[in-house]
Structure 1
Amino acid sequence: MPGYLKSALIEAGIPSEKSTVPDKYQERLPTSLTLKYGEQGWDERRIFLDAVQNHLPSDSGGSAFYLRFQTKDGQWHAYNELKDVQDDQIKTIKISDNGRGYDYQNLQFLNSSKEDSDASGKFGEGMKMVAAAALRADIAVEYGSRKWRAVPAIVKHTVDGREINQLVFDVTHYVNEEPPIDDKHYGQSQEVSTTTFSNLTPELIQQFRDATKNVIGVDSKRPEASTSAGDIMHLNGGMLYVRRLLIPGDHRLMNSYHLPHFDIKSRDRSHIDQDDLEHEIAKILSEVKEAHIIRTLLLQIKLSMESGGSNPVESTIEYAPHNKELWKQAFHEAFGENASVMNVTRSGEVSMGQANHVGLKVITMPPRTAATLEAVGVPTYESELKEIVDNMQEVSMEDLTEEELEMIDRLSYIDQFMPYNREADLFIFKTKDENEKSALGLCKQKGKEEKEEIWIRRDQLEAFERAAFVYMHEKTHQNTGGAPDSSSEFRDYLTLVAARLSIDQLSGIKVSSAEGSRHLGLKKAKPKMGMIRLP
């Protein structure tokens, strides 16, 4: 119709299409859900976190989400003002975003509008479940987006004699006017979608207060490290976040992590498959570029293993480090330049005393951690021991001094005090390279037809005490069939040898009881029950 004719008709009182459309109208939107749907596990914590989830940038398509609250005086406040306000003064909680918004019909169907792979609500249940849980807890909730607002309600039905509470939404559509804005701070230009709670329970207010702990991005704290696979939030705590939200429970983690892209396959967002979790944590730590984080991780794994508690996830993973030199550097920074690694399952074969005896500092680690460290080039006990043996150079008996040869003869005196003593050839060695690691002595086990060998480093012959210590130590290994230092067999045998030597030496001492007491610096005392009198 020509414009001039349309204007003339309107002036004559003929109604236009615009004037016949109401400024707003309401409709009831039914769902197929009942109030009992998802009843288990939906408390205030789940209500709040799932409501927040819908407003996160990955879900809303926006750049920010907002948390605000209204006090009973009608004033709206930023979240950072919450610490100064008592619970009984809080009237309303609002979560909002500046995203693309969503169609009100999403409230009706179990259908998700989130196509982004990083979006969380793929089952389309979130808003319905939040609404049902809120109604059960007598919490009022209102959803809003674009030009509509909706509140959940209950419609009672009787089916086969049973009462069923159907979840519905009463939707108000704003056509020729804007939806009411109660919070002037942001205004409609910034708040595209909102979830507003009122008639609050103490538990919901507490969840709102805990948002800084339970939702990443509420405060300005930055992660300790970020990788393409996820973030290390804290080097402690054992907390797990998926797509910014805390996943409750004990996940056996030493550190706190954020998995921003992880897809929880279960509708129960409080559960994450353990194999999936280990895979994601392995990816994050394998990509870490900060040496101090790897150093802390290795120290944590070591301490956890020694404490004897449950094995944390980090100690059960075999990593694939992107920067092998960084991991090797971190290991030596944590445990020393001369440290080597050993699988803890082999620690019964070699004790730390035995390792120190051959000049090694051995760090035991869980099997997969040890395998990772070996793969990045950290030396193992076995490789270090081979290096030590390769650095040994035999010294001919003809090249020894008379004093050194006499020392060797004195060592043979000890053999008579060794039970089941087996013959062995004695060799003296020196190190080829003084800058390389070297053992004090070594017992080389041989086959049944070959005589075994005891090796002593030449500088140990400078003092009988040192030479005797090394000789007795290596002969104990030989006579116990190679028992490790940490074994009771090794300790018992060496103790018996020392006791026999001591008795032999003491048997030649003849002193009176008085002389013995004075010699030992003892005061004369009256004998007591259970004491042995000196002869």
Structure 2
Amino acid sequence: MGETRNYKIETSITLDYRKSAWGLERIVLDGVANHLPEDSNGTNVAVKLKQDGQYVPLKQADPQKQTEEIVFEDDGSGYDAGMLSILFSSKGADELSVGQFGEGLKLVAASALRNGVEIEYHSRNWVANPFAKPERIGGHDIEKLCFTIQENGFDLDGSRTVIRNPSDDLMREVYQIPDKVLALNDSYEVMSKDFTGFGFLSDAKIYPSRMIRLGNGDTTLFIKGVKVQDSQSIFSYDLGLNNITPDRIFADRDRVLDSIENLLKDYASPEAIKTVLSKAFSEPEGNYQEFQAFYNRKQDKGFGITEFEPLEYTFEFGKEGYGRIPRRPLTWEEKQQRKEAELELKAKT
């Protein structure tokens, strides 16, 4: 055991920063995401709960029992405590990682303080505990996010996030992790070949987009394996998009539809295509994203008005024949939207 020392780190983040988007769900999802292999440079991520004094994997935990601790951990390279003080992410240029903005650790800690969640970070030879430092700046009372750091002389393999005495509300979010983080979900089926955006490149260091069928029947949009939003679609999608909003609560609609279109055209399994075609004929006016992906999406760059026009697309199955998403007339709602968009455009010009 080496030398120990204690010190404090201040950040420029206040506890009010992005508070509307960061609640208990984000504490859990970003807490786990920081330990995913692509983000930690490791090979494994684990979620463990301490119940009756024993640590058990999340899948083996009993929701009826009291949980004393939640542990998110990985076997990666760890990170320096100094990273807690700055908005910088070494993962920003990594196409595989979920984290890109350097805010996750800090905003999880700030949200934990706001919600009375007792959290601490462990990595390498240190342990960090967040606290709020009151200050008055420019006539405004603020609370600045800070950390106490204890270098304990140990050398931890990987990194760890520990939450003690979690509330029932927080535990409800924890038990939903398998539905929201694909690395911890063993009940989904991939319905496509991996699509990287640059062709079928199995060795490329780019997160592969996938069409998936969830075991619980939900349809969800994931970005790099972590849930972003519910999806009005026939299948769920796990897309390798970059530069989504830092809060990770939605992704650019056109980029999502472009990815779905590419998956359906070139990478979807015959079963997936047949399912989409069946829906196209049984529900021709359905508002599924798979149908929207084949619309003629025209956007006026000056005013941000998007016009959707149904198109026809033919799928070929080789020896299995072909099928098509038929061109259909605009619905009454779509006609009204087009009229409103045209009137708005005329008014602005």
Rg comparison, structure with higher value: 1
**Partner of residue 99 from structure 1, selected from 57, 63, 76:** 76
Native 8 Å contact 2:14 2:143 kept in 1: yes
Counterpart selection for 2:194 from 207, 228, 231:
228
Q: 2:248 aligns with which of 255, 269, 293?
A: 269
Q: Which residue of 1 aligns with 2:316?
A: 324
1:26 corresponds to 2:28:
no
Alignment of 1:62-211 (within 5 A): 62-71=42-51, 73-82=52-61, 84-87=62-65, 89-114=66-91, 115-175=93-153, 178=154, 188=156, 191-211=157-177
Deviations along 1:439-467, one digit per CA (max 9) or x if unpaired, are xxxxxxxxxxxxxxxxxxxxxxxxxxxxx
Cα-to-partner distance string for 1:290-315 (whole Å, 9 max, x where unaligned): 3222111100122221xx45x21111
Code of the residue aligned with 2:192 in structure 1: it is S
TM-score normalised according to structure 1 size: 0.52
Q: Give the superposition deviation at 1:163.
A: 2.3
**Selected match of 2:219 from 223, 238, 247:** 238
How big is each residue's C-alpha offset from its partner over 1:382-416, in whole Å with a ceiling of 9 and x where there is no partner? xxxxxxxxxxxxxxxxxxxxxxxxxxxxxxxxxxx
Q: Which runs of 5+ in 1 are unaligned?
A: 1-20, 180-187, 332-339, 347-535
Aligned to 1:345: 329
- Aligned-residue CA RMSD (Å): 2.6
Percent same amino acid at aligned positions? 28
**C-alpha deviations, 1:94-114, integer Å up to 9, x for none?**
101111111111100011121
Shift of 1:265: 3.0
> CA–CA distance in 2 between the matches of 1:163 and 1:342?
60
2:19 to 26, 39, 44: 39
1:342–1:285 Cα change, 3 Å: closer
Report the CA distance shift for 1:297/1:326 in structure 2 as closer, same or farther (over 3 A): farther
The TM-score with structure 2 as length reference comes to: 0.78
Q: CA deviation at 1:211?
A: 0.9
Q: Distance in 1 between matches of 2:85 and 2:313?
A: 48
**SS of 2:250's equivalent?**
coil
Are 2:249 and 1:283 equivalent residues in the alignment? no
C-alpha change, 1:321 and 1:148, in structure 2 (3 Å) is farther
Is 1:29–1:108's contact at 8 Å kept on the other side of the alignment?
Answer: yes
SS in 2 for 1:258: strand
CA distance, structure 1, for counterparts of residue 325 and residue 112 of structure 2? 55
Q: Distance in 2 between matches of 1:81 and 1:341?
A: 44
Q: Which has the higher strand share?
A: 2
> Which one scores higher on RCO, CA 8 angstroms, separation ≥ 6?
2
**Distance in structure 1 (CA, Å) of the matches to 2:274 and 2:329:** 22
Q: Which amino acid aligns with 1:193?
A: S
Q: Take 2:244 and 2:53, find their aligned partners in 1: how far apart are those partners?
A: 42
C-alpha contact 2:69 2:166 (8 A) present in aligned 1: yes
Give the whole-Å Cα distance in 2 for the aligned partners of 1:199 and 1:163.
30
